[in-house]
Amino acid sequence: MVKRKAPEAPHEEHADETWLIPYSDLLTLLLALFIVLFASSTLDKAKMEKIEYALAAAFNSLSGDSTRGSVKHFLEEIKDLKLGDNVGLGSNEKGGFIELASVLLFEENSNVIKEENAETLAKIAQLLNSQKYQRYKVIVRAHTDSQPKEVNNWDLSAARASAIVNRFIKLGVDKNRFEAIGMADIAPKVPNLDIYGKAIPQNCRINNRVEIDIEI
């Protein structure tokens, strides 16, 4: 009797993987191309500085020596000027800001700068004119309280912002760096009114202010 051979298990064909070699070579070439394109491109310096400042601020690692003419440098130099209790300083994700109480600069309901206190603006302008800070944009925002005035709050705040910008321009700061914005009473720091709808004089004084933002 002839013995039948046991059927063999079906042979599984191995896929041809030789295509992986040229594919990996192609990926390497594409990577090299992207590196060359990135290295040869012109980066937006201002955007890079914004990213650098935001990252440094997020990790609380702003260093006074890291970047010549940094926002931190600017705020430190403003602080050294000792401009008085009516001047505040701060920083945000876009840069830094100087806050001036309106009572320091203007009479009530007026957009005329008090000449006896104009030296404060002159000192700030001198710093803005410094070579190391000339790349910064300057945004002047004037705020009022919510109380009715002889002049409309929108018109008054816009006129005050413009007055500050014009003074800086007269002091030699490049006009192309500025933006003047009248905020009226839409962004109070503290409530203008108490729960009975009556004005809180101290809070109204706080809300009457000018913010000078220094942005990259």
Q: In the prediction, which pLDDT does 64 show?
A: 44
**Residue that has been written with the tokens 């010549």 in this structure:** 68
**120 vs 51, residue with greater confidence:** 120
Q: Return the pLDDT at 3.
A: 58
**Largest separation between any pair of C-alpha atoms in the chain:** 127
Residues 32/36/38/43 CA torsion (nearest 10 deg): 170
Residue 18 has pLDDT above 70, yes or no: no
74-90 mean pLDDT = 90
Closest to 105 in 3D by CA, of 211, 213, 214: 211
Q: What is the pLDDT of residue 62?
A: 47
pLDDT tens string 130-182: 988 988 999 999 999 999 888 899 999 999 999 999 999 999 999 999 999 99
Residue 11 pLDDT greater than 70, yes or no: no
% of the chain at pLDDT higher than 70: 75
More confident residue, 73 or 24: 73
Euclidean distance between the first and the last CA atom of the chain, given in angstroms as a whole number: 97
For 42-72, write each residue's pLDDT tens digit.
555 455 555 555 545 444 444 444 445 788 8
- The structure's pTM equals 0.68
**13-45 burial, b for 16+ CB within 10 Å, e for fewer?**
eeeeeeeeeeeeeeeeeeeeeeeeeeeeeeeee
